[in-house]
């Protein structure tokens, strides 16, 4: 109940994994963990779909539709009659912005 | 096709010395008062796109050909947090042109990305400056940087460093990242520094609505408007992990409902009105305040470090209709009560 974050687009094809560990290194939420022959997907629900793992996987064992989880961007895109997924995070524009982190 | 101006990387040589070799700008780790003023302005969203560092190669301390190279965004806050973390260390900082955006957001957009990194490595002549072929890239740059591609195209081996610049000295010493160095968290301070921008974004409509309510409805309604916005933009981020449920909208509805109670009580106790008018009057804040706080709360998803696009989209479809229904009902009741009052029927 009241948890919209139970599912996401992360898919891990373990049979393709060559156990290089790059995904473990780049994931900011500890979604993957070391395994004996292949990496293990341990916390799939914690994935924020940043796409770092899929981009850095040398054998395309990870698939994720990466995007920014920003309601502001998606709602503004929807209001302008555009596809919600095309809603680019407006950070850096002169007008509104959704993020101001220093990292 | 990208237009030439847009595709052009300005990482090229800023100053060419008399010998014709690119002179690398020297910097230090000191954060001056001017830097702090700049950070404060950036935090408040003042001249948002002006907090930029000129892209290119910088040297910190007295680096030699063996010294490490760090990639960075050209947002002043990112650059300053990196150079101050590298206090007393010698190295090079390669500043990418991310249009004044921090590393993580820029990586999500691709401006802190493989193409820009490769282009900057080439245009600054980095391979002539250092003898090694390693570049330390902040881990949060990984959504935009494919280490394999960078290696293939530039010969440089990307080493993803820790999430936080403050962990760099230990990372350099040990050469490994602890699991904590890889994890992103979202502590109170990080949430707090984001609140000014949240508030600034809605300040103009808030002032207008407050003035309108003050003239038409009264002091309490104007106060309710201000408190509602402050709750949604400042109190919500502070209390984020403490409010029950996972969904931001639901958290906002809960917080908004609690906030609405004193205003509802205030209207219920208003003098000289029939009982039915007191009860319906009390319903207005209970119907309007929670969805407004919930909407502001939902908009905070973009600032957080953990919400997925799939989840946020699900929230939008689930809760926006509820928010519209609640607030529209509340506003209609409020308007009817107002009209009846003007017509002196109550």
DSSP string, B166-193: GGHHHHHHHSS--HHHH-----HHHHHT
- Neighbour count for residue B174 (Cβ, 10 Å): 10
Contact list in B for residue A32 (CB cut-off 8 A) is none
pLDDT in tens, B163-176: 999 999 999 999 99
Q: Are residues B174 and B66 in the same domain?
A: yes
Q: What is the pLDDT of residue B252?
A: 98
Residue B146 with chain A: CB contacts under 8 Å:
55-56
Question: Do residue B211 and residue B231 come from a single domain?
Answer: yes
Residues B57 and B122 in one domain: yes
Query: Are residues B65 and B43 located together in one domain of the fold?
Result: yes
Residues B272 and B328 in one domain: yes
User: Looking at residues B181-205, what average pLDDT do you find?
Assistant: 94
Q: Which CATH class is domain A11-63?
A: alpha beta
- Tens-place pLDDT, residues B309-338: 999 999 999 999 999 999 999 999 999 998
Which chain A residues are within 8 Å of B46, Cβ to Cβ? Answer: none
Looking at A20-34, A80-94, B220-234, B326-340, which range is the least confident one? Answer: A80-94
Q: What is the pTM of this model?
A: 0.89
Same-domain pairing of B150 and B243? no
Residue A69: which of B164, B311, B320 has the nearest Cβ? Answer: B311
Boundaries of every domain in chain A: 11-63, 67-94
Please name the member of B103, B104, B316 whose beta carbon is closest to the beta carbon of A75.
Answer: B316
Q: Measuring CA to CA, which residue among B181, B164, B197, B203 is closest to residue B303?
A: B197
Residue ending a domain, among B184, B215, B250, is B184
CB B143 to CB A3 under 8 A? Answer: no
**Could you say which of B167, B184, B201 is where a domain stops?**
B184
Total residues belonging to chain B: 346
The pLDDT, as a whole number, for residue B342 is 85
Rounded to a whole number of angstroms, the distance from the CA of A20 to the nearest CA of chain B is: 12
> Which residues in chain A have their CB less than 8 angstroms from residue B148's CB?
56, 58
Contact A102 B75 (CB under 8 A): yes
**Do B64 and B173 sit in the same domain of this protein?**
yes
How would residue B145 be classed by pLDDT, with cut points 50, 70 and 90? Answer: very high
Q: Quick one: pLDDT at residue A90?
A: 55
Boundary of a domain, candidates B152, B184, B216: B184
Do B156 and B239 belong to one domain?
no
Give contacts of A23 with chain B, Cβ < 8 Å.
none
Q: Report the residue from A2, A4, A94 with minimal CB separation from B49.
A: A94
Residue-wise pLDDT for B277-314, tens only, equals 999 999 999 999 999 999 999 999 999 999 999 999 99
pLDDT (0 to 100) of residue A48: 95
Question: A60-99: per-residue pLDDT in tens?
Answer: 999 999 988 888 888 888 888 887 776 565 554 433 344 4
Q: Are residues B167 and B304 in the same domain?
A: no
> Nearest Cβ partner of A71 from B75, B102, B299?
B299
Residues B264 and B289 in one domain: yes
CATH code, domain with B96: 3.40.50.11600
**Is residue B35 located within the same domain as residue B130?**
yes
- Is the minimum CB–CB distance between B239 and chain A shorter than 8 Å? no
Token pair recorded at residue A75 = 């709602």
Q: Give me the pLDDT at residue B217, please.
A: 87
DSSP assignment string, B218-258 = -HHHHHHHHHHHHIIIIIHHHHGGGSSSS-HHHHHHHHHHH
- Structure confidence by residue, pLDDT tens digits, B65-78: 999 999 999 999 99
pLDDT at A84: 79
Report CA-CA distances (Å) from B5 to A50, A92, B2, B57.
28, 18, 8, 20
Determine, for residues B140 and A28 on separate chains, whether the beta-carbon distance falls below 8 Å.
Answer: yes
Contacts of B261 (CB under 8 A, 6+ apart): B286
Range of the domain at B135: 4-184
Q: How far is A18 from chain B (nearest CA, A)?
A: 15
- Do B177 and B301 lie in a common domain? no
User: What pLDDT is recorded for position B88?
Assistant: 86
Q: pLDDT above 90 covers what percent of chain A?
A: 62
What residue in B sits closest to A54 (Cα-Cα)? B143
């Amino acid at each position: 109940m009241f948890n919209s974050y139970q599912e996401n687009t992360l898919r891990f094809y373990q049979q393709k994994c060559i156990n290089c560990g790059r995904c473990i290194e780049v994931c900011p939420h500890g979604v993957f963990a070391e395994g004996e022959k292949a990496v293990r997907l341990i916390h799939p629900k914690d994935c924020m779909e940043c796409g770092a793992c899929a981009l850095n996987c040398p054998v395309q064992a990870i698939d994720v539709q990466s995007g920014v989880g920003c309601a502001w961007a998606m709602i503004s895109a929807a209001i302008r009659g555009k596809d919600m997924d095309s809603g680019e995070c407006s950070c850096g524009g002169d007008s509104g912005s959704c993020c101001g982190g220093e990292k | 096709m990208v237009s030439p101006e847009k595709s052009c990387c300005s990482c090229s040589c800023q100053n060419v010395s008399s010998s014709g070799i690119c002179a690398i700008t020297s910097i230090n780790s000191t954060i001056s008062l001017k830097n702090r003023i700049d950070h404060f302005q950036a935090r408040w969203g003042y001249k948002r796109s002006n907090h930029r560092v000129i892209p290119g190669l910088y040297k910190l301390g007295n680096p030699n050909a063996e010294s490490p190279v760090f990639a960075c965004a050209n947002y002043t806050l990112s650059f300053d947090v990196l150079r101050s973390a590298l206090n007393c260390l010698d190295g090079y900082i390669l500043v990418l042109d991310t249009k004044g955006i921090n590393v993580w957001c820029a990586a999500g957009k691709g401006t802190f990305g493989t193409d820009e990194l490769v282009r900057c490595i080439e245009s600054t002549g980095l391979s002539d400056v250092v003898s090694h072929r390693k570049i330390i890239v902040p881990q949060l740059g990984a959504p935009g940087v494919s280490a394999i591609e960078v290696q293939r195209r530039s010969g440089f081996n990307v080493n993803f460093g820790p999430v936080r610049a403050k962990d760099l000295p230990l990372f350099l010493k040990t050469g490994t990242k602890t699991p904590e160095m890889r994890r992103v968290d979202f502590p109170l301070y990080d949430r707090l520094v984001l609140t000014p921008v949240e508030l600034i974004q809605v300040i103009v409509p808030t002032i207008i609505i407050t003035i309108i309510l003050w003239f038409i409805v009264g002091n309490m309604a104007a106060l309710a408007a201000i408190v509602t916005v402050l709750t949604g933009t400042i109190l919500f981020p502070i209390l984020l992990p403490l409010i029950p449920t996972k969904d931001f909208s639901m958290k906002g509805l809960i917080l908004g409902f609690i906030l609405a109670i004193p205003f509802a009580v205030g209207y219920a106790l208003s003098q000289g009105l029939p009982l039915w008018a007191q009860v319906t009057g009390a319903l207005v804040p209970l119907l309007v305040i929670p969805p407004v706080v919930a909407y502001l709360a939902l908009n905070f998803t973009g600032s957080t470090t953990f919400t997925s696009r799939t989840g946020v989209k699900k929230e939008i479809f689930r809760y926006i209709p509820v928010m519209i229904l609640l607030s529209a009902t509340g506003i209609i009741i409020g308007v009817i009560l107002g009209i009846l009052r003007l017509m002196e029927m109550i």
